[in-house]
Structure 1
């Protein structure tokens, strides 16, 4: 998987993030599953890779601030559309005493829903064919809608044919789908083209009803997915890669503050390590290290320092 300086495009949605504190006050920042991964990936790779984010935003001050924050993280903006009169989505994180989170969303009119249906989308989709890695998630599939999702799938098929690495994080969010049947159909339309699947057992069980980890691995083996990683929170992650199996323990954390972006950061560190020539075990160890730090601070993104 090693590449001298890979070009990676992450496709998805960034939203305005509100963190509700114990006293009821709100701290505003930005977040979203693929954006969280993009930030941590860009930090991990530094000048050893180029990370671009692919999305659609509005022409408002929040969208301006998002772009400025991404540029400060060395994330490329050339695939970001700015749609006049539109706004980004918004969500609020509420956490309990154990650090577990609850999300409230306002995203039905978010600009990203038209990301691949505008006149400007054609050149962006064409440009994606020149990337070394294309990364997306189950949330990406949901927010793009049927038409945008179809255009993304066409692009993934051609990119894979040209040798790009297609990476998928399953991130199943039931409230984003009209029905579980619609979600299953969408996932099944893209899974045959995925080469690195970053999964959680809970999402696989909720979506496909797999009984356990072995059932998940068996399902992806039938699809022919070369590398499958099962993220299991505080438990060891499990990996099947090119016929080999690995179990990599997580790191113990004394006090969990906020589990937001734990899986996103793990995925970023895992992918960065693999792109830089690390083994699956080394990549999982890097993922655990980063995730163990992320869950000790509030919000999705740790300060750079």
Structure 2
């Protein structure tokens, strides 16, 4: 159970696969000063958790969110949103006196985003600190897959990040597969060397890497994709899906390297969660037995729809139809 690359229709689990998604959900505000704002919730791994749950027609995937929240009304509301979307919250820590993080999104005429954050004292920063975190860390080894991002690592205290890494190491030794989305945000780290060390430690534990080219180029200084793929092979990552915005996706795995063109979009409204939705669709396809090329097509298809809507989470009714492999729901036919 170490690599995704050899997965085939015959290897799809007869029971639902349990996926833990680790990260932070925040209060999302959208609008312009003095013109009013709308409020919802979002966060990179939370977006992925929701889309993973939606792309689960035959209940083959159980998606649980791992985080910490406060005991306030906003935390209660975001937790209800997760439940309404089919995302489990059994391992969510409630920290009395803490509050969720907050961010504002502003978009320009091309749909590109500008974020303003208030997250320094957010509950999620302490999710793996203290005695009470032990139960959550121990529970990670009972999942088939653990999904997290560079933001998941960046928001934690140094002690919490170390404890998480130890738990991931133990989980992987017991057969859990690790999925990592790089999502590098320089302002969340004290300095670039600290971030690079954390990423290198993470990549040595990673089975499937879902990488945004610009982020890794900024963090590691890669000048071409060949340098990136060589580095990931050195770290032992078995499967890499390299996201390049509106350009094609490159997939490197045991079967070889594949280039999958992106879908053309007439008008981009908002690029929020484009990468998160791609990652969720790619992972969903792979967990249901699809090959890497089909998984990349799923990723492009969902991301193309997401950027045509405002906000991280598009309406459920707007979810695109995807080319399901015939074997996915064979048992239910």
Class of the TM-score when normalised by the shorter of the 2 chains: over 0.9
2:109 matches 1:97 = yes
Report 1:268-283 matches (<5 A): 268-283=280-295
Which of 129, 132, 147 is 2:159 aligned to?
A: 147
Which of 204, 210, 213 is 2:216 aligned to?
A: 204
Report 1:132-281 matches (<5 A): 132-281=144-293
SS at match of 1:9: strand
Instruction: Name the count of aligned residue pairs.
Output: 305
Runs of 4+ in 1 over 6 A off after TM superposition: none
> What is the alpha-carbon distance in structure 1 between the residues aligned to residue 151 and residue 195 of structure 2?
10
2:40 matches 1:29 = yes
Name the structure 2 match of 1:3: 13
> What is the alpha-carbon distance in structure 2 between the residues aligned to residue 163 and residue 122 of structure 1?
20
Quote the RMSD (CA, aligned, Å): 1.1
> What is the alpha-carbon distance in structure 2 between the residues aligned to residue 151 and residue 34 of structure 1?
19
> What is the alpha-carbon distance in structure 1 between the residues aligned to residue 233 and residue 130 of structure 2?
37
What is the CA deviation profile of residues 108-145 of structure 1, one whole-angstrom value per residue up to 9, with x for unaligned ones?
00001110113221111111101000000000101112
TM-score by length of 2: 0.90
What is the CA deviation profile of residues 196-243 of structure 1, one whole-angstrom value per residue up to 9, with x for unaligned ones?
000011011100001111111111011111000100111000000115
Name the structure 2 match of 1:74: 86
What is the CA deviation profile of residues 235-288 of structure 1, one whole-angstrom value per residue up to 9, with x for unaligned ones?
000000115000000000000000000000000000000000000000000011
Check conservation: 1:88, 1:112, Cα contact below 8 A.
Answer: yes
Q: Which runs of 5+ in 2 are unaligned?
A: 1-6, 318-333
2:40 matches 1:41 = no
Check conservation: 1:201, 1:212, Cα contact below 8 A.
Answer: no
> What is the alpha-carbon distance in structure 1 between the residues aligned to residue 219 and residue 89 of structure 2?
33
Name the structure 1 match of 2:131: 119
What is the CA deviation profile of residues 37-58 of structure 1, one whole-angstrom value per residue up to 9, with x for unaligned ones?
0000011024111000000000
Q: Which runs of 5+ in 1 are unaligned?
A: none
Check conservation: 2:200, 2:235, Cα contact below 8 A.
Answer: no
Moved more, 181-190 or 262-271: 181-190
Check conservation: 1:199, 1:229, Cα contact below 8 A.
Answer: yes
